[in-house]
Amino acid sequence: MNFKHKYFFLFPGLFVLIGILIFPIIFVVRLSLSGWNSYNPGLDYIGLENYIRLFTDDPRFWESFFRLSFLSVTTVILQYVIGFALAHMVWKDIKFKRFFRVLFLVPMMTTPVIMTVIWRTFFHESLGPVNDMLSIFGVAPKWLTDPVIAKFTVIIVEVWQWTPFMFLLLLAGLLSLPKEPFLAAAIDGASPVRKFIYVTFPLMAPISIGAIIIRLIEASKIMDTVYVLTSGGPGTSTETSSFYIFIKGLREFQMGYAASMSFTYLIIMIISLTIIAKVLTKVLLKE
Amino acid sequence: MKTCLTAIISSLMIFSPMAYADKWSDQFPHIKATGDIPGDCSYEKMSKKNYKGKTLKINTHAIPVMGEPTALHAEQFEKLTGAKVEVTHTPAGDLYSKAMVPFQAGQAPYDIVFGFSNFINDWKRYLAPVPKKYMNSPEMKDVTKSHMGVSSWDGTMYQYPVDGDRHYLKYRKDVIDNPEMQKKYKADTGKELKVPTTWKEYGEMAKYFNGWDWDGDGEKEYGSAEVMKKDDLMFAAFFSRSVAYAKNPRTPGGFFFDLETMKPNINNPGFVEALTDWVEATKYVPPGGTNFGLGDEIGSFGGGQTLFSFSWDDAFIAAMQDDSPIKNKVGAAPLPGANKVWNRVSNSWENQYNQAPYIVWGWAVGVAKKSKVKDMAFDYLCFFSNGANHQADLAIGRFGVNPFKNSDFDPNIYINSMGWDPEIANSYTKTLLDMEKSNNRVFPLRVPGVFEFTSAVATGTSKALAGQLSPQEALDEVAKEWEAIVSRVGKKAVQDAYAVGVKMEDNKL
């Protein structure tokens, strides 16, 4: 029998893959080799000029990258810890379990930009309710105007918004765990803490790695929170790579240069996330 | 002749309501204060046009500033002409790219695009020049010379004037003119409390009136509300503070660059002094004031939170609206000056008083060259800024429509239709008019890739405000970046474009 016609069934998927993934990447690479900007639109060829500028004359890109690393790693660790705690809590038989399961998901269901506008209003230093309440204790943190505190404000908003995602994945993982190891631990008289350390946590390792990697990929694109909350300020203290690329590309219209930054950033992210995934697997799965 | 024309138009604007108010203001309450005002694009004239079956697509700013009047006049235009008008609202930071991306791709998804007047150099090749029919209309003849210049490039108008912008000082008149406060200030500081004429006086007064309840409303008030948020027009606020120290009428040939060499002036001691003052200002703004965008500034001064403010008209108009707690308690004055000005030719300070108005860029709007409904688009813009709409828009602070016609400088408009105190109306119109007459004005930078230049200023100055760099270090960084941009864009291209602006500043255009 001739099964050659089966290859025709691959075409729709292949076509979509080329259209939405391969072509844009090729176009970005080509764009990055051009000087396309507001006064010189078009795909002229300038060689590696944009890359040379990026690696030799743009410390702001690298500063924003290291800032992004700090923000994304911190937010994901916090999301993991809080998400695990919440999932563990509603995994048990507690009152209003269903209510809490839904409640903890609410932040994720809201629109990030709108929620950030609301958070910005909360943290507004002269009109916002947060400092109004804190004034009772005689403190008024500069949530958005102090270079150090502003970073933590971004972290608070990100953690609030995306912990539910971590909660959801980890709860799904907990619900799918086999019952036998827990029964065995109970027969052996293991305390809740030992049960968590020696049974729950190791069994959850594969799903934890997946959840952390998914969130790291998402967190490495922090943009809307920064855009709305601080515009990268004060100074450049909350500027992340994606926000900086946005400024260069869509504010200043340096399309060619922004493309070179995007491509470099993509490569760095692929390499670093691969390494992180390997390390996590080694540490958590003890492979 | 010009004065005569202005007087006639002003009279028409003041007395015409009696004749037309009944007919059109019943249908369109927005113009209830004046009724229709005769003109080429009046309600009466527009009602005779028939654009049924045609669609006009507009990209404008988010509501309310400029977005709200655009949508309102679109709705009115639909009712009058039968056209269908689709309005898209876009955040300020994305107006440029939202038009530029399709422009560069050879498309025209919008017939009308709103933006800022300093986009003109990048946009002009994609915009249709304003047709002669409109250029010769009495309404257009009423537009001030400055704003004709701002909307045009080398004699050709590409942007239809709908707004006029400049930065000036706004202050709390009930405090500055209050004899008790004057006495208290004198006793505490040994200085006179008066409208500040220098940035140093501005700083001293703002610091004194910072952090206590000086108007007895039970809330703390502060010294100054300013646009300090990075990438939220802060570069314009910095230029406002710089003109006093760096625009020397005796050294023509460029404020931002030395036109001959295209060497940036941005890090000379004049600009550094201005940035040093600005860093000091972080101590007398309201809590969170260093993150204030334009909307926050309008709300802060307009809501009675600060003694001073400077930037566009909006905060002043907001303060003078009927619902404002400080209506008729504010005053307008020219931007403060300085007791010294930098001479970039002799490389030294000149110890004499200097003041320079900043005719800052403002809202601008053009019709896409590739639009298929250009006539209708220009009619819409002409209708947008007709006498009745313009006067009604001027009275609403959040609309962001500010005076740009000679007839706007008649104080009676503000006294009769907006209920302003005559003294305030007079000081307001005099302040604006004096800026028009000044020979030491600064116009916005309008060169290719303007966003790269202003973005560099925003980044540098915000680093100084955040304490990441000293003023000199920050502006050295900006100057280095400007040199790199000039080199990337091409010195000749930037120089040629900049020469047009310099001609305006040197009063040669």
pLDDT tens-place string over residues A25-47: 999 999 999 999 988 888 999 99
Task: Quote the CA–CA distance of B359 and B348 in Å, as a whole number.
Answer: 26
Residue A94 confidence (pLDDT): 82
Of all residues in chain B, the percent with pLDDT exceeding 70 is 95
Cα dihedral B273, B274, B276, B279, rounded to 10, equals 180
What number is the average pLDDT over the span B10-35? 69
Looking at the predicted structure, is the pLDDT value of residue B4 above 60?
A: no
Three-state DSSP at B61 gives strand
> Is A218 within 8 Å of chain B by CB?
no
**pTM score of the predicted model:** 0.86
Compute the C-alpha angle B389/B391/B393, nearest 5°: 65
Smallest CA-to-CA distance from B401 within B38, B62, B68 is with: B68
Would the CB atoms of A231 and B232 count as touching at under 8 Å?
Answer: yes
Residue A2 confidence (pLDDT): 66
Shortest CA gap A157–chain B (Å) = 17
Q: How many residues does chain A have?
A: 287
Helices (DSSP H) in B385-446: which residue ranges? 387-394, 411-418, 422-437
Please count the structural domains in chain A.
1
Residue B262 confidence (pLDDT): 97
Residue A98 confidence (pLDDT): 86
Residues of B in contact with A125 (CB under 8 A): 286-289, 291
Would the CB atoms of A235 and B455 count as touching at under 8 Å?
Answer: no
Looking at the predicted structure, is the pLDDT value of residue B77 above 70?
A: yes
Tokens describing residue B207? 């610091």
What number is the average pLDDT over the span A130-134? 93
Which residues 152-171 on chain A approach chain B with CB closer than 8 angstroms?
none
Smallest CA-to-CA distance from B447 within B485, B475, B480 is with: B485
Angle formed by the axes of helices B491-505 and B471-489, nearest 10°: 120
Q: Is the peptide bond before B411 cis (omega within 30 degrees of 0)?
A: no
Q: Report the chain B residue with the minimal C-alpha distance to residue A38.
A: B449
A85-99, A137-151, B58-72: the lowest-pLDDT one:
A85-99
Shortest CA gap B246–chain A (Å) = 24
Shortest CA gap A74–chain B (Å) = 23
Q: Report the chain A residue with the minimal C-alpha distance to residue B121.
A: A39
Residue B233 confidence (pLDDT): 84
Which residues 264-293 on chain B approach chain A with CB closer than 8 angstroms?
286-291
> What is the CB neighbour count within 10 angstroms for residue B7?
13
The end-to-end CA distance of chain A, in Å, is: 45
Indicate the helix (H) or strand (E) that contains A99: helix A97-103
**B421 falls in which pLDDT band (50, 70, 90)?**
very high
Looking at the predicted structure, is the pLDDT value of residue B19 above 50?
A: no
**Structural domain includes residue A50:** no
Q: What is the DSSP letter of B86?
A: E
Three-state DSSP at B309 gives strand
Looking at the predicted structure, is the pLDDT value of residue B432 above 50?
A: yes
Residues of B in contact with A147 (CB under 8 A): 466-468
Q: In this predicted model, what pLDDT tens digit does every residue of A74-97 receive, in sequence order?
A: 999 999 999 999 999 999 878 888
Looking at the predicted structure, is the pLDDT value of residue B294 above 90?
A: no
**Residue A286 burial by CB count (10 A; 0-12/13-18/19+): exposed, middle or buried?**
exposed
> Is B55 within 8 Å of chain A by CB?
no
Task: Quote the CA–CA distance of B330 and B226 in Å, as a whole number.
Answer: 16
> Is A35 within 8 Å of chain B by CB?
yes
Query: What is the radius of gyration, based on Cα positions, of chain B?
Result: 22
Residues of B in contact with A134 (CB under 8 A): none
What number is the average pLDDT over the span B379-385? 97
Q: In this predicted model, what pLDDT tens digit does every residue of B229-240 receive, in sequence order?
A: 887 689 999 999
Smallest CA-to-CA distance from B425 within B413, B437, B435, B433 is with: B413
Task: Quote the CA–CA distance of B489 and A35 in Å, as a whole number.
Answer: 10
Q: Are B158 and B366 in contact (CB under 8 A)?
A: yes
Q: Report the chain B residue with the minimal C-alpha distance to residue A227.
A: B231
> Is B366 within 8 Å of chain A by CB?
no
Residue A186 confidence (pLDDT): 92
Residues of A in contact with B96 (CB under 8 A): 251, 253
Looking at per-residue pLDDT, the higher value among B321 and B82 belongs to B82
Would the CB atoms of B97 and A250 count as touching at under 8 Å?
Answer: yes
Smallest CA-to-CA distance from B404 within B166, B233, B115, B167 is with: B166
Q: Report the chain B residue with the minimal C-alpha distance to residue A230.
A: B291
Q: In this predicted model, what pLDDT tens digit does every residue of A152-170 receive, in sequence order?
A: 999 999 999 999 999 999 9
> What is the CB neighbour count within 10 angstroms for residue A230?
28
> Is A58 within 8 Å of chain B by CB?
no
Shortest CA gap A152–chain B (Å) = 16
Who among B97, B230, B305 is closest to A232 (CB)? B230
Would the CB atoms of B96 and A126 count as touching at under 8 Å?
Answer: no
Residues of A in contact with B231 (CB under 8 A): 231-233, 247, 251
Q: Report the chain B residue with the minimal C-alpha distance to residue A36.
A: B104
Q: Give residues with Cβ within 8 angstroms of B110, minimum separation 6.
A: B57, B58, B59, B88, B99, B102, B368
Q: Are B267 and B274 in contact (CB under 8 A)?
A: no
**B2 falls in which pLDDT band (50, 70, 90)?**
very low
Q: In this predicted model, what pLDDT tens digit does every residue of B472-494 receive, in sequence order?
A: 999 999 999 999 999 999 999 99
Smallest CA-to-CA distance from B287 within B215, B379, B219, B351 is with: B219
Q: What is the DSSP letter of B408?
A: G
**B277 falls in which pLDDT band (50, 70, 90)?**
very high
**Structural domain includes residue A195:** yes
Task: Quote the CA–CA distance of A68 and A220 in Å, as a whole number.
Answer: 7
Angle formed by the axes of helices A59-91 and A255-285, nearest 10°: 40
Domains of chain B: 2-161+361-437 (3.40.190.10), 168-240+285-350 (3.40.190.10)
> Is A247 within 8 Å of chain B by CB?
yes
Tokens describing residue A165? 């995602």
Indicate the helix (H) or strand (E) that contains B169: strand B168-172
Looking at per-residue pLDDT, the higher value among A7 and B419 belongs to B419
Who among B94, B452, B468 is closest to A235 (CB)? B468
Residue B14 confidence (pLDDT): 46
- Domain of A83, CATH number, reads 1.10.3720.10
Query: In Å, how far are B236, B318, B487 from B502, measured between CA atoms?
Result: 18, 33, 20
What number is the average pLDDT over the span B394-398? 83
Would the CB atoms of B230 and A231 count as touching at under 8 Å?
Answer: yes
**Predicted ipTM > 0.95:** no
Smallest CA-to-CA distance from B338 within B442, B202, B176, B209 is with: B202
Query: In Å, how far are A28, A240, A263, A265, B92 from A270, measured between CA atoms?
Result: 16, 17, 11, 9, 34
Would the CB atoms of A125 and B96 count as touching at under 8 Å?
Answer: no
Three-state DSSP at A125 gives coil
Q: Are B87 and B70 in contact (CB under 8 A)?
A: yes
DSSP string, B363-399: EEEEEETT-S-HHHHHHHHHHHTSHHHHHHHHT-GGG
Task: Quote the CA–CA distance of B328 and B210 in Å, as a whole number.
Answer: 22
Residue B250 backbone phi and psi in degrees, to 5: -90, 0
Q: Are A256 and A46 in contact (CB under 8 A)?
A: yes
Q: Are B96 and B344 in contact (CB under 8 A)?
A: no
Task: Quote the CA–CA distance of A247 and B481 in Å, as a whole number.
Answer: 15
Q: Are A126 and B288 in contact (CB under 8 A)?
A: yes
Would the CB atoms of B287 and A230 count as touching at under 8 Å?
Answer: no
Residue B210 confidence (pLDDT): 97
Give residue A8's Cα distance to chain centre.
38
**Structural domain includes residue A71:** yes
Smallest CA-to-CA distance from B12 within B358, B405, B455, B430 is with: B405
Q: Are B29 and B388 in contact (CB under 8 A)?
A: no
Looking at the predicted structure, is the pLDDT value of residue B111 above 50?
A: yes
Residue B94 confidence (pLDDT): 83
Would the CB atoms of B231 and A230 count as touching at under 8 Å?
Answer: no
Q: Give residues with Cβ within 8 angstroms of B179, minimum separation 6.
A: none
What number is the average pLDDT over the span B166-195? 97
**Structural domain includes residue A4:** no
What number is the average pLDDT over the span B194-198? 98
Would the CB atoms of B305 and A145 count as touching at under 8 Å?
Answer: no
Three-state DSSP at B88 gives strand
Residue B231 confidence (pLDDT): 72
Would the CB atoms of B468 and A147 count as touching at under 8 Å?
Answer: yes
Question: Best of A122, A248, A252, A260 to disrupt the B interface by mutation (most B CBs within 10 Å)?
Answer: A252
**Structural domain includes residue A196:** yes
Three-state DSSP at B264 gives strand
Smallest CA-to-CA distance from B461 within B440, B449, B477, B447 is with: B477
Average pLDDT value for chain B: 92
Shortest CA gap A161–chain B (Å) = 23
Q: Are B306 and B204 in contact (CB under 8 A)?
A: no
The residue range of the domain holding A260 is 60-285
> Is B107 within 8 Å of chain A by CB?
no
Which amino acid, one-letter code, is at A246? F
